[in-house]
Structure 1
Amino acid sequence: MNQRDLDQELRELGKANADKVPDMIRHRQEEVYAALESLPMMQKRSHHRKKSVRSVSLVYRFLLTAAAVMIVAIGSLLGGATVSPTIAASLQSVPLIGSLFKLAADDLGLQTLEESGLADVVEASATHDGITLRIPELVYDGIRLSIIVTRDGEKRSGGILDQISTGNGTKSKYPKGAIHSFDAQIDGRPIDGQDNGWNMVLKAKRTSDPNTAIYELTPRSASQQFTSALPDAFTLTVQIGLEGIEEPFVMEIPVRQQHAKVMSTIQKSREWRGHKLTLSEIQFTPITTQMLLSVDSDDQEWKRRLWFELWDDRGNVLGFIGGYGEHETRHAEELRYNVLFERMAKAPSSIKLKAFLPEMEDPTSSSGHFKLNERGEVIKNYINELEITFPVDQAVIQKLYEISSETRGDDKS
């Protein structure tokens, strides 16, 4: 069965270089900004924040603001200079408030876990040779399992997910203390679909903190209907390898599914020049938007080049999380997709699915690097004839988005 991994293709995208500010300064700036934004006076949606967050004292707010000013000032003075060990140690000690999921880049669903409190606090840890790995939080919404991994201690020379490119297509190396392997089992079964496994995809996501990463499990399936890829409750066993440390870090964590979700059957199709796009179903959770669709075409190359975006009724494009495509066994012309996007900031009254063909750096090739504009964005050729707009129940989705650990009746103490 031919398959298409949208995550792997997305890694080919080029991104503009970050400003030339020392990594330590930049990371701690971003962390403190995130912490400041989590305070009640900085929140636009504070009406359903947790009471524990509302009770942050004015003194603590002042101290945190002072820390942020200190970091900005240091960053301005140093510019591109190297950070001294003393300053580095001081910056690393600046505290963060609330959920570490707030550090997730370009993923509104995970960032809102700070407000809702829906993430499960597990506090698993393992220590070897002076380094401690922790899994303090995770969340499973029935679609994706997101896991926070943090690192503390000495004997490290880079970020937790850093790699050193060796060039010439050879395998990357890892700095001391970086994760070089991450193996997971669910109820004792592997996640990769082999040996009666769960057929899931594992990927790592960087955060604004060099010592914090997010690992995510998503389904490697494009079935014609929504089904949870994993049980409602299970035991997750992870085995993590760090460069320079011989013994693996092993942790076992109980996981439960957050059941809140809204599903809608769409079954809308559009056709253009012999190509047919069909949107079958869409599903919402407090952190994820999932859709099932299919592309029917005799042109295999065109079909595999087609990409998708999801827009709300305010013109906002939902962030892409991941996706998987596979050919229908009995119908070779049909390519089915299971595509994941972040949640929306506000519940919409309608949603728009757009299809586009990205331009390639090499116009004669159907693979490789995408062509970027002057802003560092992929050049997209939208196909208006394949656009699908459909209504959704705004009130129901908004109620879903306002679910928290308090309204759900969880005891997080």
Structure 2
Amino acid sequence: MNPSEFEKQAQELDEKLQSEKEHLEAEMVVIPDLVRQRLDAFYTQMESEADLLSNRPSSPRSVKRFLRGTAITAASAAVIGFVIIGSAFVSPTMAESLKQVPLVDSVFKLAGDFGLQTADRKGLVTPTNLSVTHDGITLKVSQIIFDGTRLVVALEKQDGEQKVLPLFTKVTPDGKKPEDIIEKIDLFINGKSILSENGPFNSLGWGPGKDSNSMIISYMRDPAGGLPALPKQFDLKVYAKLKGVAEPFALQTTVYKTKLASKVLQPQISKANQYLKFTVDRVEMTPVTTKILTTFTMLVDLKDMPDDYAIERKYISTEGPHKNYTKKEVKHLDYAVIDDQGRELEILGGSGKSISKNQPEQMAMLFTPFADPPKKITFKPYTLLMTPDGRAILDAKGHWVRQYLPEFEITIDVPQNTNQP
């Protein structure tokens, strides 16, 4: 890269920093002394080294600007990223600027679902610089978002010069999962472990990040399970126990609900026949998550359920008096969510209660957000096909085969005036 290109990059970055400085001053945000000292020391060192080179006869006047541009471009991720992200406040403007600097990679942007990528693009994610090091291994929480429905945390690992197991491994095509370094993951909300919160509507899960040394942790709590909804502000501790490391990792911060518009619908619309009833109770839409509450109700005794909705399951057990037995069960009931353009939302997770006669199966499901505000939403219930011994029946692409139940399909209109702060 020639000097003129470095000068251009330096100028662009200086303009972004100046703009952000004016933005911070406008909001009366005080830059911490440590941040200011590190920036001053960094620039002083760069200017000093540039002066030494520029005094040499063979060095043109542009060398000083060239070195300054080189230093800023090469070290911006390590220095500017550290001191700015490490401070108490990062505005969406600066967050987006930092993402454009080399080496500042966003886990949500590179590996998150559509909702997380949207949040990252719109500057709704909170960048952090929380880190703890034990035995030469560093765990870092780099991003957090809480939209009122789900809490999502980006966790990253740095090994230094060591070679240890990856933080997260994906399941291989043959169905096996290689070993990773995680022994236990937990989140503490206002000092209480979520693993201690029993209930069908509390969901903790994690998935792959941007590489094998990063992962995304997601948590949902639904008040239908008897616990209060997460507050708009709470203390969070990310707890991790790693294999081969005696001391657990604990990273603590305060989480604030992201301010964004939401749309809430309570259609309470049902479709039923003599055997089953399906009801859409509530739909909550944000730019990050779509949360849907539904119920399936069985209207007859299990013995009277037809094969469309029930299956004779074969169980094989090596213990007890009934080593091999058959049991009739309701098939796994689920549903697809389709917008008015025919696009299906991706399922992120969820939970619910089991179904029995006249006892509704309540389900709280999370989906990705709608790509565009829908005018109509269609719910298409289906069962997932299984063999009698409980194995999933897969199609040619490896997807679980669905058997749709058109008799329960529901379409609702979406009013355009239901936005909530």
Q: Say whether 1:210 aligns with 2:237.
A: no
* CA 1:135–1:159: 2 relative to 1, 3 Å: same
Partner residue, 2:203: 201
Match of 1:310 among 337, 346, 364: 337
Q: Say whether 1:115 aligns with 2:121.
A: yes
* CA 1:277–1:117: 2 relative to 1, 3 Å: same
Partner residue, 2:367: 341
Write out aligned runs for 1:262-341 (5 A): 262-297=263-298, 298=300, 303=330, 305-326=332-353, 332-341=358-367
State the distance in 2 between where 1:228 and 1:119 align.
Answer: 24
- Paired letter, 1:350: K
- Paired letter, 1:153: D
State the distance in 1 between where 2:125 and 2:301 align.
Answer: 44
Higher RCO structure (Cα 8 Å, ≥6 apart): 1
* CA 1:246–1:110: 2 relative to 1, 3 Å: same
* CA 1:238–1:207: 2 relative to 1, 3 Å: closer
Q: Which structure would you say has the larger Rg?
A: 2
- Paired letter, 1:142: G
Larger displacement relative to structure 2 (151-160 or 308-317): 151-160
Match of 2:155 among 149, 152, 157: 149
**RMSD of aligned alpha carbons:** 3.4
Partner residue, 1:129: 135
The percent of aligned pairs where both chains have the same amino acid is 27
Match of 1:104 among 102, 111, 116: 111
- Paired letter, 1:258: T
Match of 2:167 among 155, 160, 170: 160
Give the superposition deviation at 1:117.
Answer: 1.0
Give the superposition deviation at 1:379.
Answer: 1.3
Write out aligned runs for 1:373-412 (5 A): 373-394=395-416
Give the superposition deviation at 1:122.
Answer: 2.4
Give the superposition deviation at 1:281.
Answer: 1.1
What is the DSSP-based 3-state SS (H/G/I as helix, E as strand, rest coil) of the residue aligned with 2:267?
strand
State the distance in 2 between where 1:233 and 1:56 align.
Answer: 26
- Contact map agreement 2:141 2:153 (CA 8 A) in 1: yes
- Contact map agreement 1:276 1:296 (CA 8 A) in 2: yes
- Contact map agreement 2:239 2:249 (CA 8 A) in 1: yes
* CA 1:322–1:221: 2 relative to 1, 3 Å: farther
Partner residue, 1:358: 384
- Contact map agreement 1:264 1:282 (CA 8 A) in 2: yes
- Contact map agreement 1:108 1:344 (CA 8 A) in 2: no
State the distance in 2 between where 1:311 and 1:108 align.
Answer: 15
State the distance in 1 between where 2:121 and 2:380 align.
Answer: 31
Structure 1 unaligned segments of length 5 or more: list them: 1-48, 65-94, 401-407, 409-413
Give the superposition deviation at 1:186.
Answer: 1.0
Write out aligned runs for 1:14-93 (5 A): 51-52=93-94
What is the DSSP-based 3-state SS (H/G/I as helix, E as strand, rest coil) of the residue aligned with 1:109?
helix
What is the DSSP-based 3-state SS (H/G/I as helix, E as strand, rest coil) of the residue aligned with 1:114?
helix
State the distance in 1 between where 2:135 and 2:171 align.
Answer: 23
State the distance in 1 between where 2:224 and 2:294 align.
Answer: 9
- Contact map agreement 1:174 1:180 (CA 8 A) in 2: no
What is the TM-score of this pair, normalised by structure 1? 0.65
- Paired letter, 1:308: Y
- Contact map agreement 1:192 1:201 (CA 8 A) in 2: no
Give the superposition deviation at 1:396.
Answer: 6.0
- Contact map agreement 2:296 2:361 (CA 8 A) in 1: yes
- Paired letter, 1:191: I
* CA 1:50–1:251: 2 relative to 1, 3 Å: closer
Give the superposition deviation at 1:96.
Answer: 4.4
What is the TM-score of this pair, normalised by structure 2? 0.63
State the distance in 1 between where 2:301 and 2:353 align.
Answer: 15
State the distance in 2 between where 1:236 and 1:113 align.
Answer: 20
* CA 1:194–1:315: 2 relative to 1, 3 Å: closer
* CA 1:54–1:203: 2 relative to 1, 3 Å: closer
Partner residue, 2:237: 237
State the distance in 1 between where 2:170 and 2:406 align.
Answer: 40
1:174-195 alpha-carbon deviations (Å, 9 max, x no partner)? 44xx221112211111213549
1:327-373 alpha-carbon deviations (Å, 9 max, x no partner)? 599x753111111111011111111111011111x2x24x3x32111
Match of 1:185 among 176, 185, 188: 188
- Contact map agreement 1:313 1:348 (CA 8 A) in 2: yes
Give the superposition deviation at 1:50.
Answer: 5.9
Give the superposition deviation at 1:104.
Answer: 2.8
* CA 1:356–1:312: 2 relative to 1, 3 Å: same
Partner residue, 1:370: 392
State the distance in 2 between where 1:299 and 1:100 align.
Answer: 49
1:120-157 alpha-carbon deviations (Å, 9 max, x no partner)? 12211100111111001101111110000001124344
- Paired letter, 2:217: Y
What is the DSSP-based 3-state SS (H/G/I as helix, E as strand, rest coil) of the residue aligned with 1:209?
coil
